[in-house]
């Protein structure tokens, strides 16, 4: 069982000690990343201490129970953000009620925390400390190894933000060490299997932090024999050995796009791992090269520094292709893509909440769906009054075939890719701003039904946009 204790000493009772509000941001982000799906940590097994709950007595009691009550099978995760300090002979973590004139009597001795890590029944401990002088915690870690810290198949790790004689930097609402830790957990430290393990995470954080702050060097001590300790799973390729079961009557439904993504006008490929960083709106995808043809690899290279349409899961947007890297990791060739979102680049916009030639915005959305998704002709009365080019956005940046689904089927494209093409059309033709659901129903070797729910864009007014729903019987033969 994975259990976590997250400590943010973000307030200080004494006005002589600076408060550290960023530490609460740090703990909140770590908590979110540990518990978001696909999660290893359950919400009920993550404990947070902050503010006036971080007194010396509370911390002492909580640390003791966290480590002493663990079982050998538990994986313990400790994160601590706050002030660190020195006396003449020891290093300390400063709690909420620390007295800077009597640090030794009012603070938590780093060696006591180290002893908890060493003596806990849990065979696996992952501990992170973002405090000034936190490296003092591991000054004598080698002696711990001599006392039998190494345990087969798992290990105990101490990772500190800096050495014992350094300060830990803060910026942009987070401690610098923790900011890179967050980015690593978001997927920057992902291995080819879509997992974040302790070694990849430390390597990622160390390189990024030292590059940014050459005078701050994180340190790690720990032992391991056996597979790396996994901290987090990033969204990874689905297991295709257990295909989606058929529904009643032999029917099945494609209600997601699995591990497929669409980039450019027609390249649809499968990723090994994927993450999206909301702070800088960057998509990172890793592909195993052997699962993609040489043509796809060369096409990606040609996209470098260009703007391209991109669709994944239930969303679509235009992106700039910032990086296309080909590398070999563990004997396995991979393609790494870095895509940066482009703001406010869409197709022909939907109209406001007023009607156009008597046609309401909802009716315009339905006309566009009929034309682009279901290949229906433009109604004659719209052709006659010359409204077609305005209503259908004929000059859109995203050109679409008049026989979209049949043409995609002719290319023997996976159904998940066809679904992504439809999502791209819905967004880039400004039919909906967000796709809530898009389902393709398959029966007797044909697409027999398409259902859609999406939110129509809000363009000019503050009136809440309506939800567009479609449930359309179709027949597109699978060849």
Per-residue pLDDT of 346-386, as tens digits, reads: 544 444 445 566 677 788 888 889 888 888 877 766 655 55
Q: ∠ CA(408), CA(428), CA(439), 5° rounding?
A: 55
Q: Which pLDDT value is given to residue 152?
A: 33
Read off the pLDDT of each residue in 116-140 and give the average, rounded to a whole number: 73
Conformation bin of residue 244: beta by default, left when phi > 0, alpha when psi is -120 to 50: beta
Residue 316 pLDDT exceeds 90: yes
Q: What is the Cα–Cα distance from 128 to 159, expressed in whole angstroms?
A: 5
How confident is residue 140, by pLDDT bands cut at 50, 70 and 90? very low
How far apart (Å, rounded) are the C-alpha atoms in residues 290 and 2? 34
- The correct CATH number of 2-233 out of 3.40.50.1100, 3.40.50.1460, 2.60.40.10, 3.40.50.1580 is 3.40.50.1460
The whole-angstrom separation of Cα 160 and Cα 128 is 6
**Residue extents of the structural domains in the chain:** 2-233, 257-341, 361-477
**Is the CB of residue 68 less than 8 Å from the CB of residue 38?**
no
**192 within 8 A of 123, measured Cβ to Cβ:** no
Contact 368, 393 (CB under 8 A): yes
C-alpha to C-alpha distance for 263 and 249, rounded to whole angstroms: 35
Q: For residues 125 and 158, what is the distance between their CA atoms, to the nearest angstrom?
A: 8
**Confidence (pLDDT) at 165:** 61
Does residue 308 have a pLDDT over 90?
A: yes
Return d(Cα 424, Cα 430) in angstroms, integer. Answer: 10
Rounded distance, CA 277 to CA 232, Å?
Answer: 16
> Rounded mean pLDDT of the chain?
79
pLDDT digits (tens, 9 = 90+) for 403-462: 889 999 988 888 999 999 999 999 988 888 889 899 999 988 899 999 999 987 765 455
* Nearest alpha-carbon partner for 286 in 307, 311, 261: 261
Assigned token pair, 327:
């590398």
pLDDT of res. 177? 84
Q: Is the pLDDT of residue 476 over 50?
A: yes
pTM given for the model: 0.54
Residue 341 DSSP label: E
Under the phi-then-psi rule, with left for phi > 0, alpha for psi from -120 to 50, and beta for the rest, what region is 393?
left
């Amino acid at each position: 069982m994975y259990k976590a204790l997250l400590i943010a000493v973000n307030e200080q009772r004494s006005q002589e000690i600076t408060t550290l509000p960023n530490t609460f941001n740090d703990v909140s982000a770590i908590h979110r990343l540990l518990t978001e799906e696909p999660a290893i940590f359950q919400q009920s097994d993550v404990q947070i201490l902050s503010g006036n709950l971080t007194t010396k007595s509370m911390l002492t009691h909580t640390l003791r129970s966290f480590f002493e009550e663990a079982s050998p099978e538990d994986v313990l995760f400790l994160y601590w953000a706050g002030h660190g300090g020195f006396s003449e002979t020891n290093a300390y973590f400063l709690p909420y009620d620390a007295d800077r004139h009597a640090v030794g009597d009012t603070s938590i001795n780093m060696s006591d925390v180290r002893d908890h890590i060493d003596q806990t029944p849990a065979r696996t401990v992952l501990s992170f400390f973002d405090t000034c002088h936190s490296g003092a915690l591991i000054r004598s870690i080698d002696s711990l190894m001599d006392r039998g810290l190494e345990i087969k198949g798992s290990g105990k790790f101490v990772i500190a933000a800096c050495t014992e004689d350094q300060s830990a930097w803060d910026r942009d609402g987070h401690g610098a060490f923790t900011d890179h830790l967050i980015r690593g957990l978001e997927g920057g430290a992902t291995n080819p299997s879509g997992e974040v393990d302790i070694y990849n995470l430390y390597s990622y954080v160390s390189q990024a932090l030292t590059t940014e702050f050459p005078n701050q060097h994180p340190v790690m001590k720990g032992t391991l024999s056996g597979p790396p300790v996994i901290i987090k799973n990033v969204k990874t390729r689905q297991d295709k050995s257990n295909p989606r079961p058929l529904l009643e009557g032999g029917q099945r439904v494609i209600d997601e796009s699995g591990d497929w993504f669409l980039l450019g006008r027609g390249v649809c490929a499968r990723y090994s791992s994927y993450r999206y960083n909301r702070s800088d709106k960057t998509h990172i995808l890793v592909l195993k090269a052997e699962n993609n043809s040489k043509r796809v690899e060369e096409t990606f290279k040609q996209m470098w520094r260009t703007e391209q349409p991109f669709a994944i899961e239930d969303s679509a947007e235009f992106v700039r292709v910032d990086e296309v890297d080909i590398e070999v990791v563990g004997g396995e060739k991979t393609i790494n893509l870095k895509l940066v979102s482009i703001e406010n680049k869409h197709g022909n916009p939907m109209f406001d909440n007023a009607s156009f030639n008597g046609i309401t915005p909802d009716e315009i959305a339905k006309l566009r769906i009929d034309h682009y998704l279901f290949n229906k002709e433009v109604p004659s009365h719209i052709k006659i009054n010359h409204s077609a080019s305005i209503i259908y956005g004929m000059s859109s940046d995203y050109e679409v075939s008049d026989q979209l689904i049949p043409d995609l089927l002719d290319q023997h494209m996976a159904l998940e890719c066809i679904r992504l093409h439809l999502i791209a059309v819905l967004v880039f033709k400004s039919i909906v701003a967000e796709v809530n659901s898009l389902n393709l129903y398959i029966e007797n070797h044909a697409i027999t039904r398409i259902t859609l729910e999406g939110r129509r864009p809000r363009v000019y007014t503050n009136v809440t946009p309506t939800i567009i729903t479609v449930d359309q019987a179709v027949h597109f033969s699978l060849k």
